[in-house]
Amino acid sequence: MKQAFEKETGATLGGTDASGMFGFYETSCIGLSDQEPAALIDFCPVTELTPQKVKTVVAKLKTGSPAISICDEPKNNIRYTPGENTFILKDYEPGAALRNLKELEPVEVINSIKEAGLMGMGGAFFPTGIKWETCRKSVSNRKFVVCNADEGEPGTFKDRVLLNTMPGLVIEGMALGAYSVGASEGIIYLRAEYRWLKEKIEQTLEDFREKGWLGDHIPAKQPFSFDIRVQLGAGAYVCGEETALLNSLEGKRGEPRTRRYFPVERGYLAKPTLVNNVETFATAARILESGAEKMRKLGTKDSPGTKLISISGDCAKPGIYEIEWGMRLGDLLALCEANDPYYVQVSGPSGVAVSMKERNRRLCKEDLLCGGSFMVFDKTRDLLQILHNFSNFFKQESCGICTPCRAGNFILNRKLEKLQLGLGSLRDLVELEDWGATIKQNSRCGLGQMSPNSIVDAIHKFPEYFDQRVDKSGSRLNMGFDMAAAVREYEEAVKE
């Protein structure tokens, strides 16, 4: 694909062509892992690329067609829903959740959410009811509800599909939140890579306003006014972290704040702010619509309900799976027709590396939680290459403000490169783990705290792989020093 683009546009990766018409750059995951290879042209998505397709697309751009006219409508690829237990992705009837507000006090809404046992779906799994309650209790003349649609964890695209198929459900969830906590202003923080969804969301907001479901005097038991606007992100992964997101909303640099206040105490513009993930709001709406009871019957004791999983990688059916919490890993792999899985990265690079010995583990709070990303790799993929890609991601996406994450991830990255060159020793593995632990324990925000996870896990879980790649002699002459490589530059310089 890289070659195809370079050939057709004349721009090399990381630069522009001579005329400056095309610029061609690498980006982190753009949330289209189920229809790779994919690219954004002027923020318009083109998916399932082939060299032939690249050729046609670029030819059209050259004749002056705007990107918007030639881009693809990304598929939703909803591959599986659990029949009558489907909770989130069933047919959507606009207003079905909101109309309940006529009979409910704000606290009663919060109670339903609590009864249902809803947890945050953005990856931290914080109990949503408690968050709403705390925000409700924060005293302020102005409060905000923010929908976190930054979806930056590589391999996740569930929020994209939710916003594309039923933006109304998410909006209803936000309105419930607003009613519960006493907020009148809402913001959807949409990642820049999803700009193509903006129009659709705004259209839905307009429809809601027309129906009187947004704006002043929304029908509810208590007086309720609430409106929502969409704000685009600037393309940084760390802006998915809620306090960095708030900074970004305020037009500041996307840096996580120091943990002195929770956003529900002091958030956007220092006012109490409820930040929840897209799927959290969607599920909250479903709870009011179908009842907390129904959700409690699904899933496991500690994680009731269902979860949207974005599956990508070496399987026949990448896409969205709504599963009941508690499903076995092996069953999910069978569903997506992963024929020869070797390694699965659950919850994205910040998540958990899983080997096939763990097929019987269950996806649920009691065992293995999954934030949404589920990447399957077979034996044809090199583990170190994958880990190095993840490490590149963190090295670039660290906000750079704290030492362990900024410097540490670069240091780990170098170490992985050494291993890739076959120059590692047992000591390097020990150091990767030690240094990984240091980064985890001491980083300021979740990004740094999770960044070494995949490396540390993989070393533990794939000993047979690493054993073959490191020197185990214990020699005090460091075999990692490669004399031939070290003198190569000199030999070339003196050749001429």
The yes or no reply on residue 3 touching another protein (CB under 8 A) is no
Answer with the entry of another protein, ligand FMN, ligand SF4, none that 233 interacts with (C-beta below 5 to 8 A by kind): none
Q: Of 259, 260, 236, nearest to 248 (Cα)? A: 236
Inter-residue contact 23 to 11 (CB < 8 Å): yes
Q: Which of 156, 443, 453, 454 binds ligand SF4 (CB under 6 A)?
A: 443
Q: Of 491, 250, 266, nearest to 258 (Cα)? A: 266
Strand ranges, E, within 333-423? 341-346, 352-355, 373-378
Task: Name the segment binding ligand SF4 (CB under 6 A); options: 145-153, 156-164, 286-294, 400-408.
Answer: 400-408
Q: Of 417, 414, 321, 413, nearest to 370 (Cα)? A: 321
Q: Of 220, 224, 227, 230, nearest to 288 (Cα)? A: 220
Question: 83: which residues sit within 8 A by CB, 6+ positions away?
Answer: none
Residues 221-250 that bind ligand FMN (CB under 6 A): 238, 240-242
* Residue 407 identity: A
The yes or no reply on residue 150 touching ligand FMN (CB under 6 A) is yes
Residue nearer to another protein on the CB measure, 217 or 260: 260
| Minimum separation from the CB atom of position 252 to another protein (A) | 10
Answer with the entry of another protein, ligand SF4, ligand FMN, none that 124 interacts with (C-beta below 5 to 8 A by kind): ligand FMN
Residues 381-440 that bind another protein (CB under 8 A): 394-404, 406-411, 414, 431, 435, 438
Question: 209: which residues sit within 8 A by CB, 6+ positions away?
Answer: 215, 227
The yes or no reply on residue 447 touching ligand SF4 (CB under 6 A) is yes
Q: Which x/- pattern, by CB under 8 A, does the window 437-476 give for another protein?
A: -x--xxxx-------------------------------x
Q: Which residue has the tokens 């589920």?
A: 374
Q: Which of 109, 405, 429, 450 binds ligand SF4 (CB under 6 A)?
A: 405
The yes or no reply on residue 448 touching ligand SF4 (CB under 6 A) is yes
- Pairwise CA distance, residues 102 & 96, whole Å: 12
- Pairwise CA distance, residues 424 & 416, whole Å: 9
Inter-residue contact 454 to 354 (CB < 8 Å): no
The yes or no reply on residue 277 touching ligand FMN (CB under 6 A) is yes
Q: How many residues does the chain have?
A: 496
Bond before 263 cis per omega within 30 degrees: no
Footprint of ligand SF4 on this chain (CB under 6 A)? 238, 256, 398-402, 405-406, 443-445, 447-448
Footprint of another protein on this chain (CB under 8 A)? 236, 238, 253, 255, 258-260, 394-404, 406-411, 414, 431, 435, 438, 441-444, 476-478, 480-481, 483, 485-494
Footprint of ligand FMN on this chain (CB under 6 A)? 120-124, 126, 128, 148, 150-153, 238, 240-242, 275-277, 280, 445-447
